Structure 1
Amino acid sequence: MDGVRTRKRHRLSWDVGPPETQAVTDGRVPTAAPPSSPPLREDDREGHYVYDLGENLTPRYKILSKMGEGTFGRVLECWDREKCEPVAIKVVRSIHKYRYAAMIEIDVLNHIATNERGRSCCVQIQHWFDYRNHICIVFEKLGPSLFDLLKRNKYCPFPVDLVRDFGRQLLESVAYIHDLRLVHTDLKPENILLVTSEYVKVPSQKSNLQGGTRFRCLPKSNAIKLIDFGSTAFENQSRSSIVSTRHYRAPEIILGLGWDYPCDLWSIGCILVEFCTGGALFQTHENLEHLAMMERVLGPLPPRMAQKANPSAAKYFTRGAELNWPEGAASRESIRAVGKLGRLKDLVGRNAECWGGSFTDLLRGLLKFEPAERLTAEEALDHAFFQQSGPA
C-alpha cells in the first residue's frame, strides 16, 4: 500500500547541529547557542526533572500539578503568567536519545499545525524551550483521555453514537497526518484527549443490585484531539522495527514484515472494539499468544505472511506455515485466555444488539491481516457506519 507515494525525505528544521548543543529560550534554533541555565538541583537517576509544586519552570510558568509520566519524561500542568491561562508542558528527560526524539516531535508538531485542519484535530504546540538541559514543549491544556473516560465509567461501553462520533474524528485526524506523509505509530485511547473536562451524568442502561438507577459520565462536548507525536515517523525515514503499544500493534510489526500507514488503521480497529466492549481487544504481553488471539477473533493468518516472517518470528509457526498453537503456548492460563475470545461479530454483538451490521463490517475492513487490504482512513470515513445515526 502507498507504494506509489514518492517524496524526498523530509528535512528536519533543526538539522543544523545536535540538539544537546542547543540551549534556546524562544523555540527557535539559534546560530550560536547561549549558555545553558545552571541546574536548580540534580535530576533523578533516570534523568527526570525534579520539581516542587508551586515553583517556577522559567519565570513564565508556575508548576501546578503533574498530569502524567512516561518513558519520555513528565507532563506538568503549569500556569502561563504571560497569557494568564493553564498549559500542559512536556518536560523531556535529560538523556540524549530522548532530547533527540523531542526535537523530531517538535518538527512533526510544527508540520501538523500548517493549517486549520491540523490545529482542529491534533494537539497544538504553543512554544518550546531548553531549560536546565530538558527540552520543554508547551501545549494547549486539554481534557482527560478516552481511556480515562472508560475508566471513570468502570469500563462500560460507550453509546453507539458516541463511538461513531469519536471514530469519525479519529479517522479525520489520521487522514490528515497521513496526507502529510506521517505515520503516528502509537494510536491508543490514552493518546486521544477530550478537548474539555466537563461531564454530564446520564442514567446507565443497567441497574445496580439494589434496583436503583446507575449513572455514567458522558462528555458535554464530544470534541477530541490526537496527542503524543513522539513516535511519529516521516515517510521514508529510517524506522524502528517495533512500534505501537502492544494491545494495538499490527500483525506485520510482530512478524517483522515492515510497517507503514496501515499500522495506524489496525490500531484504530482495536480502539473502536474497545469503545464498544469496554476492554482492550487483545489483552496480552507475548507475541505467540497475541497472534493466537488474532486468529481466534479474525480467522487464520495468511500463509504468505507466515512464510515471510523474519527469523525471530518464524519460530511461531510450523513448517506448514500454521501457527504453533496451542502446542507452543507458554502456559495453560495463556491457552484459556485465548479460548475466552470469540469471533469478531460475536464479541461486538454480545455487548449490545445494535453493535452489528455496518459496524462489524467497518471493523473487518480495518482489521485485515494483509496491510495492503486494510481500509485507508479516507475509505473508512466513507463507510456506511459513518453515514447513519442510531443503531449500527
Structure 2
Amino acid sequence: VELMGLHEWFYACSCVQIRNWFDYRNHICIVFEKLGPSLYDFLRKNSYRSFPIDLVREFARQILESVTFMHDLRLIHTDLKPENILLVSPDTIRVHDYKIPIRPPKDGSVFKNLPKSSAIKLIDFGSTTFDHQDHNYVVSTRHYRAPEVILGLGWNYPCDLWSVGCILVELCSGEALFQTHENLEHLAMMEKVLGPLPKHMIARADRRAEKYFRRGLRLDWPEGAASRESMKAVWKLPRLQNLVMQHVDHSAGDLIDLLQGLLRYDPDERLKARQALQHPFFTRCHRRCGY
C-alpha cells in the first residue's frame, strides 16, 4: 500500500491474491485465496438466467478497475472471459424471476439465484504479456477475441476492452454474444451486431485473413458460409441496441453507449479502461444513488 496510491491499491484488490507457492516434485504450485464460482459457472448453474443490470454495473466497475490496474503496469491480460472472473463468496439468495430464461430449467422453476455479494476477483494471468513483447500471435478465447486479432493486425491493450464489452453483454443476456468457432462466421456476426468492418482495417488484413473478403472490399458473406446452420446463426443475431433493450429494463441507454465504446472495431478508437470507468453508466448511478 505504501508503494501505490489509494486508487491503485483499490483497483488491485479486484485481482486474485497469491498467498504462497511451493515446489512439489519439480512442479511449481501457487496458493491463492479461496474464492467462489466463476461468473460463467454461476450463469450455467442458474439455467443461463441473466444478472440484474445493477449487479452487472458492479461487476463491470470491478472488472474495469482490475484492467486499469494491469494496464497501468503495462500488462495485457489477453484472456478476459466470465470463466476467469470469480465471485469472492459462494453465498447466494433466491429471488423470483420475472423473465423467461433463454434456456428454461427442466423443473419449470420461476426462481433464480443471485450472488449475496457483488465482490469479484480477476484470475488466470497465465497468458498475460507486457506491452513491449511480441503481439502477432493469436490471443483470447474465441468468443471474446477482438477483430484486430482475427485480421492479423497485431494487438495491444484495446483487445482487453473488446473482451470486457463481450462479457458485459453476456452478463446482461445470459449467453455469449458471439457463439462461433470459425473466423468468417465470427466476423459476419460482428457485422450483424455492430455494422460493417472499417475499410482501412480490411485493407491491412494479413494474408491469412484475406480469404475472408471478396476482392479485398467486403466480407465474403453469406457466399462463403460453411453451412445453412452457420447462416442462420448469423441471421438471428439482433443489432447491439436491440439486444441490450431485450434484456435491460433501465440504464439501457447508458449501457448501450458504453458498449459501443468498448466494441469499436478500430482499437485506436476503443475506450480505454480508465475512460470507461468515467462513463455515465457508472457516474450517473453515483449521482442518482448518492454513493
TM-score (norm 1): 0.67
**2:133, 2:90 → 1: CA distance?**
37
| Equivalent in the alignment of 1:276 | 172
2:99 counterpart of 1:203: no
Q: CA RMSD for the aligned pairs?
A: 2.0
Gaps of 5+ in 2: 1-7
Equivalent position to 1:161, from 49, 54, 60: 54
Secondary structure in 1 matching 2:20: strand
Equivalent position to 2:41, from 142, 148, 152: 148
Amino acid at match of 1:133: N
Cα deviation per residue 1:316-337 (whole Å; 9 max; x = unaligned)? 0111420010111111111110
C-alpha deviation, 1:182, in angstroms? 0.3
User: 1:349–1:355: 8 Å Cα contact kept in structure 2?
Assistant: no
**1:213, 1:324 → 2: CA distance?**
44
Q: Closer, same or farther in 2 for the Cα pair 1:253/1:320, shift >3 Å?
A: closer
Amino acid at match of 1:301: L
**1:260, 1:218 → 2: CA distance?**
34
Taking the TM superposition and a 5 Å limit, the aligned residue runs for 1:133-144 are: 133-144=26-37
Amino acid at match of 1:191: N
Taking the TM superposition and a 5 Å limit, the aligned residue runs for 1:209-220 are: 214-220=110-116
Cα deviation per residue 1:139-165 (whole Å; 9 max; x = unaligned)? 111111111111122111110100000
C-alpha deviation, 1:119, in angstroms? 4.6
C-alpha deviation, 1:206, in angstroms? 3.7
**2:246, 2:34 → 1: CA distance?**
37
Equivalent position to 2:121, from 219, 225, 231: 225
User: 1:184–1:264: 8 Å Cα contact kept in structure 2?
Assistant: yes
Amino acid at match of 1:130: D
Amino acid at match of 1:192: I
Taking the TM superposition and a 5 Å limit, the aligned residue runs for 1:7-156 are: 116-117=9-10, 119-156=12-49
**1:327, 1:353 → 2: CA distance?**
38
Amino acid at match of 1:373: E
User: 2:12–2:65: 8 Å Cα contact kept in structure 1?
Assistant: no
Amino acid at match of 1:270: C
2:224 counterpart of 1:324: no
**1:351, 1:282 → 2: CA distance?**
17
Amino acid at match of 2:95: V
**2:245, 2:154 → 1: CA distance?**
33
C-alpha deviation, 1:356, in angstroms? 2.2
| Equivalent in the alignment of 2:199 | 303
**2:18, 2:273 → 1: CA distance?**
24
C-alpha deviation, 1:117, in angstroms? 3.3
Q: Closer, same or farther in 2 for the Cα pair 1:351/1:119, shift >3 Å?
A: closer
User: 2:74–2:130: 8 Å Cα contact kept in structure 1?
Assistant: yes
| Equivalent in the alignment of 2:263 | 367
**1:118, 1:205 → 2: CA distance?**
34
| Equivalent in the alignment of 1:182 | 75
Q: Closer, same or farther in 2 for the Cα pair 1:348/1:206, shift >3 Å?
A: closer
| Equivalent in the alignment of 1:249 | 145
Amino acid at match of 1:169: Q
| Equivalent in the alignment of 1:170 | 63
C-alpha deviation, 1:200, in angstroms? 1.0
| Higher share of residues assigned strand | 1
